[in-house]
Amino acid sequence: MTWKPNSWRNYPVVQMPTYPDESKVNSVEAKLSFKPPLVFAGEVQALKKSLALAEKGNAFILQGGDCAESFSQFSANGIRDTFKVLLQMAVILTYGSSIPIIKIGRIAGQFAKPRSSDVEIIDGIELPSYRGDMINDMEFNKTARQPDPQRLIDGYEQSAATLNLIRAFAQGGMANLEKVHEWTLGFLNDTPETDKYREIANRISESLNFMKACGLTSSSVPQLRETDFFTSHEALLLNYEEALTREDTITAEKGWYATSAHLLWVGDRTRQFDHGHIEYLSGIQNPVGIKCGPSLEKDDLIRLLDKVNPNNESGKVVLICRMGSEKVNEHLPKLIKNIKVNGKNVTWCCDPMHGNTIKASNGYKTRRVAEILNEVNNFFLVHKSEGTLPGGVHFEMTGSNVTECLGGANEVKESDLGSRYHTHCDPRLNGSQSLELAFLVSDLIKSFRNGKGS
Ligand code: PEP
Ligand code: CO
């Protein structure tokens, strides 16, 4: 059977909303199918080429952003601050590892959430769970929780506006390496991470001055004044993805492209190899992420890869492992061994967030920074002992000074969680916790490349 953007409709799907009025959904899908693409085939191919480098250990993926973007917290300053923290993290990693860092945001489309329960009960009242702003509203009342297809259009529009700003930041001067000192956010000024960051920034400035003396400046070398920045989100709402899937007729690598983001990933709850989500992802040319939780069986992973990447193309698949800080030691080696036996090309990435979610004694959903760092560390150790390559990290963060994850150098305590807990879904690292993660990963890559393990 020939794949079409709508082939997924012939398969079972889970985690997708049921709308009260089917005709309204149809008209929204029709409108979306006429909207301009958000990303272009040439950019998607460029990302795939970079990911092929990461697969061979010659680049490293830095993928981060909100768990769920929101309509109400949408602001230019918010996007700018997240972008700046990601730039800082990338500088720390590039400086430490001396390899290119592939920057991918969980941004400009990350609005739909899979949930472990279909309903939420508060004070005896049962309502549908909140599933992300592109589906329903977080507020706890009947109207707010009703899925509304108009939100698909609103999500598209916010994504377009976000991407417009990101492209300006990446290419219009903000990412200029000469501004490396200006990326530090005010609230990060007095943290130990910022002192360490300043040291690196000083050395980069010295190198830039030296290059200037040799006649190389950011006006003559575009690589110094611009950066590549890619977008990604979970491909959960297949009708939205279908409407934005377009056939490329211009570039050499013709075919169908998801144009809602450069990279799409499938969540841990929707990755059944014989279901609709995998069917959709199997037909697009974009690189695809697959979340690998502790319940993923090694043979099912091979079935998934046979379906999503039948030609075993390099740079096509990123396996985003989210096992938990201890479980990673038990589960990851099994997956790696089987991938080796079957000769599959994949890039191994570590999501140290989703296997380490806990409930604090005061009820907040949170994560301990120490466990997050521990999972990354163990991920590197497992790769060292299996002789394979750690290719990237995937995490939830924000440029705002939130108190959602416990610990870190600034020691967020359980009693602090309530003060700035703003996430629309999972707890995110704040700026200083993100930099802490970047310094750890930088050290890990450095020792790994020097052959010392971690
Ligand atoms: C997520 O990335 O926010 C998420 C829900 O992840 P997972 O599918 O791995 O649970
Ligand atoms: Co999440």
Query: What's the confidence (pLDDT) of residue 347?
Result: 98
Q: Looking at this protein, which amino acid is placed at residue 12?
A: P
Return the exposure string of 410-437: e unless at least 16 CB atoms fall within 10 Å of the residue's CB, then b.
bebeeeebeeeeebbbbbbbbbbbbbbb
The closest residue, in CA terms, to atom 9 on ligand 1 is: 268
Half-sphere exposure (Cβ direction) of 392: Cα atoms closer than 13 Å: 33
**Nearest to 313, CA basis, from 99, 122, 44:** 44
Q: For residue 227, count other CB atoms closer than 10 A to its CB.
A: 19
Ligand nearest to the CA of 106: 1
For 112, 232, 337, 394, the CA distances from 333, given in Å and listed in that order, are 31, 27, 6, 19
Which residue blocks in 132-227 are alpha helix, DSSP H? 142-145, 150-171, 192-213, 222-225
Atom of ligand 1 nearest to the CA of 293: 9
Using an 8 Å Cβ cutoff, are 194 and 432 in contact? yes
pLDDT one digit per residue (tens) for the chain, 454 residues:
699 999 999 999 999 999 999 999 999 999 999 999 999 999 999 999 999 999 999 999 999 999 999 999 999 999 999 999 999 999 999 999 999 999 999 999 999 999 999 999 999 999 999 999 999 999 999 999 999 999 999 999 999 999 999 999 999 999 999 999 999 998 888 888 999 999 999 999 999 999 999 999 999 999 999 999 999 999 999 999 999 999 998 877 789 999 999 999 999 999 999 999 999 999 999 999 999 999 999 999 999 999 999 999 999 999 999 999 999 999 999 999 999 999 999 999 999 999 999 999 999 999 999 999 999 999 999 999 999 999 999 999 999 999 999 999 889 999 999 999 999 999 999 999 999 999 999 999 999 988 855 4
Give residue limits of the domains in the chain. 7-175+226-453
The best mutation among 67, 265, 320, 393 to test binding of ligand 1, ranked by most ligand atoms within 8 Å of the C-beta, falls on 67
Asked if 284 and 257 touch (Cβ cutoff 8 Å), the reply is: yes
Looking at residue 187, its pLDDT comes to 87
Verify whether ligand 1 is closer than 6 Å to residue 368 (CB atom).
no
Q: What is the structure's pLDDT at 452?
A: 59
Query: Which one of 14, 70, 234, 281 would you pick to mutate in the ligand 1 pocket, going by the greatest count of ligand atoms within 8 A of its CB?
Result: 234
Considering only CA atoms, which residue is closest to atom 10 of ligand 1? 268
Domain 7-175+226-453, CATH: 3.20.20.70
- The bound ligand whose nearest atom lies closest to the alpha carbon of 405 is 2
User: In the 8-state DSSP scheme, what is residue 107?
Assistant: B
